[in-house]
Structure 1
Amino acid sequence: MVLLNAIQGILTIVIMISIGYVLTEKKWFNEETSKSFAKLVTNVSLPALMVSDIMGNFTKGKLMNLSKGLIAPFLSIAACYIIAIAVSKILKVQKSRQGTFQSMFFNSNTIFIGLPVNIALFGEKSVPYVLLYYIANTTFFWTLGVYCISKDAPGEHGGILSKTTIKRIISPPLLGFIIAIILVLLKIELPLFIMNTCKYLGNLTTPLSMIFIGISIHSVKLKELKIDKDVIGVLLGRFLVCPLIMIIILILIPIPKLMKDVFIMQSAMPVMTNAPIIAKVYGADSKYAAVMVTLSTVLSMITIPIFMVIMS
């Protein structure tokens, strides 16, 4: 039953991606539609999701109590970021997708797949730890992850502390995340109608992102779809390197067993679904990112059961 629940969560995502693909084939969607979806997700639904998720699931007390547990995911993701840079150089990943490769290597799908998988495996008591990893993952994705992807865009690029880079990193989703954390820490509650609005808008994120990926995959010709080193490198990062790094760090950091188990599962999730959206917004290789989300999600139907057997 646990295994079936996890696989059903993955199938849901695959079906939504397929709907995007089929409707594009039927001429419902096109390149302009995908651009509109990318803007809508990045500028409207994702910021709303950040506010809804953080303020709906955390209080100041919860954040303070769980804050010690943030050390492990932050250290793990930081280490994987450094490894991602090294691997991209060793594999000589195409210059035009090097940053996207790095971002997908060290960031995982912690909510859309990670949350249902962990609930299926460990029950509702795992949710606070899932969200803890989500905070670390989100922080890295909307800072270093976005910075990496933005470097793939044509044109001049400054250093990570340059004015241009900071403008790129300070995105609406990151601002939504920061504002939500500040409001929680200050114990400020938003009116119910605002929270409901954020919840409804935030709920658009997953379906729109999946349909966007389906549209992007439709534009990839089968001849262009190659299982090369750029693809294999990301898959190894997601399903082998990142979980191993997390296991090593957890040997050194004493935390409750359930928290350890959740962190290991979270580190082994597929590519973050927002990667193609951000790649599209910045003019990077969104097709490559969309293919990687799909491949890693489908492959996770094999890897997640393996991890579940090991963890249980």
Structure 2
Amino acid sequence: MDVKVVNEVIILSLMMMVGVFARKKDIITKETVGSLSDFLLKVTLPAMVLTSFNYSYSEKMVKNAEDIFIYAAILQIGLILFSKLLTFKNKDNAKKVLRFIIIFSNSGFMGYPVLEGIFGKIGIFYAAIFNIPYNIFMFSVGIMIYTEKSDLKTTKEVVLNPAIIATVIGFLMFLFSIKMPYTLYTAASAVGAMTTPLSMILVGAMLAEVKLKDIFSGVLVYYGCFLRLILVPIFTVLLLKILHTDNLIIQICAIIEAMPAAVVASVFAQKYRADTELAARIIFMSTIMSMFTIPAVTLFLKYII
């Protein structure tokens, strides 16, 4: 498992370096970053979400899925409140980024391979179920954190968001054992597979705007990494323990919440004009630091559960 985590972190870091190189050489322009961000959020991410539900119906899986769904939703609500408490003194643009990275981990891009390494192929299914409330909150509360709006227009955008639509369709397909035709599934999988490299390349392109010495400077970056990698997993375990949650569910949720900052944090920061530089720096630093913190969290779980 430790080797799996280290390999994933190295792979993601190399992808980020590709983005840095492409931006430095002006292969990716400032305008391109915005367009690619939209392409990721509206096309590749929904495709990845939709294809993650391509499983046959099973009563045991449905029972586990129900539990994961419920506790994942409770956890998201708890983190929304927790994030307010931890960031009330920060400046507005920084506060938006910090709140977002506290609530939302890199559950899709790193959560899937890490859970697969621990639980096998079924780990991907568990991650997909966890990501249902995760995606709903990310594309609703997450957007509202950045825009500070909760009007009818924002609600409409949330409901009609391609990732939310893909989540609903995917779950219904699982419940009714509806399989996508081979050609459609293969095409959607290929498009969805672009999500991870594209998102990391975009983060790298955003990092290219920051001077190297500035990436490692500033208390906020380390504060954000501490919250995301250490405090949030501990909060997750304590909250679910209080709720007398099954040990399997605690493990799944805690491991997912031990992931580094969601790469979408910088995509949203770019789209909604928040502190893009801070978001990119926290994503970079938390991804590197997770090489050490994720194994530490899994070790912690062995003793606490």
- Which string of whole-angstrom CA distances, capped at 9 and with x for unpartnered residues, describes residues 123-166 of structure 1? 44544433332223222212211221233xxxxxx4x2x12321
1:140 corresponds to which of 137, 149, 159: 137
Q: Secondary structure at the match of 2:285?
A: helix
State the partner residue of 2:106: 109
The alpha carbon displacement at 1:210 in A equals 0.7
- Aligned-pair identity in percent equals 22
1:214 corresponds to which of 194, 201, 204: 204
Q: Which runs of 5+ in 1 are unaligned?
A: 152-157
1:88–1:213 Cα change, 3 Å: same
The alpha carbon displacement at 1:228 in A equals 3.5
- Decide whether the 8 Å contact of 1:100 with 1:275 is kept in 2: yes
- Decide whether the 8 Å contact of 1:93 with 1:230 is kept in 2: no
Structure 1 residues 71-86: aligned runs within 5 Å: 71-86=70-85
State the partner residue of 1:9: 8
The alpha carbon displacement at 1:188 in A equals 4.1
- Decide whether the 8 Å contact of 1:271 with 1:292 is kept in 2: yes
- Decide whether the 8 Å contact of 1:60 with 1:184 is kept in 2: no
Q: Which runs of 5+ in 2 are unaligned?
A: none
- Decide whether the 8 Å contact of 1:81 with 1:106 is kept in 2: yes
Q: Secondary structure at the match of 1:119?
A: helix
Determine the C-alpha separation between the residues in 2 that align with 1:223 and 1:47: 36
Q: Secondary structure at the match of 2:9?
A: helix
Number of residues of Structure 1 aligned to a counterpart in Structure 2: 300
State the partner residue of 1:154: none
| Code of the aligned partner of 2:218 | D
Q: Tell me whether 1:272 sits opposite 2:272 in the alignment.
A: no
1:292 corresponds to which of 275, 282, 287: 282
Determine the C-alpha separation between the residues in 1 that align with 2:118 and 2:170: 29
1:201–1:279 Cα change, 3 Å: same
State the partner residue of 2:195: 205
| Code of the aligned partner of 2:226 | L
2:166 corresponds to which of 176, 179, 193: 176
Determine the C-alpha separation between the residues in 2 that align with 1:263 and 1:309: 15
| Code of the aligned partner of 1:53 | S
Q: Tell me whether 1:118 sits opposite 2:110 in the alignment.
A: no
Determine the C-alpha separation between the residues in 1 that align with 2:123 and 2:177: 24
- Which string of whole-angstrom CA distances, capped at 9 and with x for unpartnered residues, describes residues 158-186 of structure 1? 4x2x1232144342222222232234345
Q: Which has the higher mean CA deviation after the structures are superposed, 296-305 or 282-291?
A: 282-291
- Decide whether the 8 Å contact of 1:87 with 1:233 is kept in 2: no
* Cα RMSD, aligned residues only: 2.4
TM-score, normalising length: structure 2: 0.88
1:38–1:229 Cα change, 3 Å: same
1:291–1:64 Cα change, 3 Å: same
- Which string of whole-angstrom CA distances, capped at 9 and with x for unpartnered residues, describes residues 78-98 of structure 1? 111111112211xx2221232
The alpha carbon displacement at 1:229 in A equals 4.5
- Decide whether the 8 Å contact of 1:79 with 1:245 is kept in 2: no
- Decide whether the 8 Å contact of 1:72 with 1:253 is kept in 2: no
Q: Which has the higher mean CA deviation after the structures are superposed, 99-108 or 122-131?
A: 122-131
